[in-house]
Amino acid sequence: MTHFNRFASKTPRILLAGVFGPYGVDDEFGRAKNIMELFHNQVTKGQGLASFRLHHRSFGLYFIAANLNADVTVLDFPSRARFKKEVKKGYDIVGISFITPNFKKAKEMAQICRNVAPDSEIVLGGHGAAIEGVESLIDCDHVAKGEGIRWFREHLGQDKDSPIVHPTLPASDWQAIYGVPIPGKTNNLLVPGVGCVNGCNFCATSHYFGKTYTPFLRTGKEIFDTCCRIADERGTDNFFVMDENFLKDKERALALIDEMERHQRYFKFYLFSSAETIANMGIDNLVRLGVIFIWIGFETKSRQGNYEKNISNHGQDLVRQLRDVGVSVLASGILCLEEHTQENIQEDIDFMIGLNADLVQFMLYTPLPVTALYTRLKGKGLIRDDLPFEDWHGQQVLNWRHPAFPDDSAERWLNRAFKMEYEANFSSVYRMIKTAFRGYKTLAAASNDNPHTNARMAQMAKRTQEYRPMLEVLKTNASPREQQQASQLQHEITSVLGSLSMSSKLLALGARTAAVFWKMRVKLKGDMRQPRTICTHYRRHKSRLSPAINPVCAHTEAAKDIFTSTDAAAYTRL
């Protein structure tokens, strides 16, 4: 794009922003049902005080910022006033990332930019960029669709194929259960690549990246080296892996295992994966890899609505095998599929409950722009053009005309599913403690001199001990049935791992106290927790992103120089 040759003699100034808050409220720009919390929004939402509470950043913006020869400011979770104040500084480019339900916020931000900084180029990105004709619906100059690093590099006239530098980021900035902060540092973020080749018809991510996979870290060694660097910088070996199906590249995963075992440095990974990929990888290899959490899309029980990734896989057996070795499972299911009726939908709810997973997500079947499902239903005239984009979040109403689920019936089934799953299987924090303990017992029973097995066993023991004080909270806050189960589990753990240490007893006391205060806060003010604004500045020089770096060590060597600059950059919470 030659129009950006004007930057050949200057460093571009770029602002990348997520949409403004407040979030999860009913106002002219958004809905209370669309909150800025992944788990509380669509996984543990039915568990009340026991729900997992986490704030996740707009990760893609940081990756773009860390990989451009430009001065880039990332403004995450701003207020509208804060965004306006930043835009007034006169950036060359203002990038706005949004999802479909935040369409009106993106439109308002673009208008603010036009009013106070008319010389700034406006670039729209994120999944909201897939909305048909978005460039005519929102006043903008460009729409960046797909992988943003390459798009921006090409737009700036820079080498789009330069090595990708992985920034050091936390996977979450706040995490709590019952108002009790989860102990230790938050997990590190790891993004080995983007996209997925499975191409499930409803999956916005797979279709947004063209049903292909673009690796950022191509080999097991690159991943290992990146993990070592990030773990050393942040002080934790736990990684949340943002990759739709990380285990799909089996060779890369096995190479990572080899690196970990050769160096005897064992990381712990939270992954997304599909059932067929897990079967191909093998449970033993997952244990060697250090997987302690895995998110699996089981979707549905029926053959009619199922996907190739789940054919020939027995969900309940798979979940049991994973939990037996200490891998917590988040099972994802879909309600109001095309074949669902008021008479048969309960079968899928029962199926998801019967998986006995640690966590269960229920989502309404929601055709989003760019997906094959959207294209097909739009062709049939079933997409609800009368429904504002703010309601396209999959947690209340259907954005398409389903003959079996008129009016508010979809939401009633969704709420029923969450309620039934919680009542049947208890809180997810209880289940995850139980899974960690199960994993420890399994490995202890097969104890040998294998160093990676012993390392895994130590991880499971530590994980059990870290979450163990939460059993004290459950014993006084959960339902009578769960209180009994929590007491029994606590007794079993004590008989194997011994009594709580004095420090753990103090933590348990603190946890009970925090839970009391959180309960009072929720009663008086509600449970909404707004994320704090985060403003991060990235300063870059061309020499630091030189494509001449040896490709074999590009990720490691580039990181040495660039992240020194990032660490010294201004980082403020407002």
Q: Which two tokens stand for residue 55?
A: 């704030």
* Residues 154 and 131 grouped into a single domain: yes
* Residues 72 and 206 grouped into a single domain: no
**272 strand-pairing partners:** 295
User: Strand, helix or coil at 113?
Assistant: helix
pLDDT at site 504: 87
Question: Residue for token digits 């060590």?
Answer: 553
pLDDT > 70 in the chain, percent: 90
The pLDDT tens digits of the residues spanning 483-498 come to 999 999 999 999 999 9
Q: In what order do the strands lie in the sheet with 174-177?
A: 52-55, 174-177, 180-181
pLDDT at site 10: 77
Assign residue 102 the CATH number of its domain: 3.40.50
* Residues 469 and 557 grouped into a single domain: no
Asked, for residue 431, whether it belongs to a domain, the answer is no
pLDDT at site 313: 67
The pLDDT tens digits of the residues spanning 157-193 come to 999 999 999 999 999 998 999 999 887 789 999 999 9
Boundaries of domain holding 89: 2-165+532-573
**CA 304, CA 302: separation in Å to the nearest integer?**
5
Question: Residue for token digits 């670039």?
Answer: 123
Asked, for residue 446, whether it belongs to a domain, the answer is yes
Last residue of a domain, one of 377, 404, 426: 426
Query: Of 70-79, 295-304, 502-511, which range is least confident?
Result: 295-304
How many domains does one find in the chain? Answer: 3
Q: What is the DSSP letter of 208?
A: H
- Examine the pLDDT at 560 and tell me if it is beyond 50: no
* Residues 469 and 376 grouped into a single domain: no
* Residues 159 and 190 grouped into a single domain: no
Last residue of a domain, one of 395, 426, 457: 426
**52 strand-pairing partners:** 177
Which position has the higher pLDDT, 121 or 528?
A: 121
Asked, for residue 276, whether it belongs to a domain, the answer is yes
Name, in order, each residue with C-beta under 8 angstroms of 26's C-beta and a sequence gap of 6 or more. Answer: 32
Question: Residue for token digits 């760019």?
Answer: 370
Query: Dmax of the chain from CA atoms?
Result: 71
**CA 63, CA 204: separation in Å to the nearest integer?**
20
* Residues 282 and 215 grouped into a single domain: yes
* Residues 301 and 416 grouped into a single domain: yes
Question: Residue for token digits 């860390």?
Answer: 66
- What is the pLDDT averaged over residues 557-569? 31
Assign residue 195 the CATH number of its domain: 3.80.30.20
Prior bond to 22 cis, omega within 30? yes
The length of the chain is 574
- Examine the pLDDT at 533 and tell me if it is beyond 50: yes
- Examine the pLDDT at 555 and tell me if it is beyond 70: no
Asked, for residue 225, whether it belongs to a domain, the answer is yes
Determine the residue type at 315: G
- What is the pLDDT averaged over residues 525-544? 83
CA of 336: how far to CAs of 116, 344, 383, in Å?
44, 10, 14
* Residues 147 and 202 grouped into a single domain: no
Q: Which helix (H) or strand (E) holds 116?
A: helix 103-116
Q: How many helices (H) and strands (E) does the chain have?
A: 21, 18
**CA 315, CA 559: separation in Å to the nearest integer?**
41
* Residues 227 and 365 grouped into a single domain: yes
Asked, for residue 114, whether it belongs to a domain, the answer is yes
Q: What is the DSSP letter of 501?
A: P
pLDDT at site 455: 86
Asked, for residue 301, whether it belongs to a domain, the answer is yes
Nearest CA among 372, 369, 377 for reference residue 103: 369
Distance of CA 9 to the CA centre of its chain: 39
**Are the CB atoms for 388 and 407 separated by under 8 Å?**
no
* Residues 144 and 260 grouped into a single domain: no
pLDDT at site 450: 79
Asked, for residue 493, whether it belongs to a domain, the answer is yes
* Residues 152 and 233 grouped into a single domain: no
The pLDDT tens digits of the residues spanning 16-62 come to 999 999 999 999 999 999 999 999 999 999 999 999 999 999 999 99
* Residues 406 and 302 grouped into a single domain: yes
The pLDDT tens digits of the residues spanning 353-403 come to 999 999 999 999 999 999 999 999 999 999 999 999 999 999 999 999 999
Determine the residue type at 181: P
Last residue of a domain, one of 388, 405, 426: 426
Asked, for residue 545, whether it belongs to a domain, the answer is yes
- What is the pLDDT averaged over residues 532-538? 96
Q: How confident is the model at residue 573 (pLDDT cuts 50, 70, 90)?
A: very low
CA of 459: how far to CAs of 176, 182, 267, 287, 404, in Å?
21, 16, 10, 11, 48
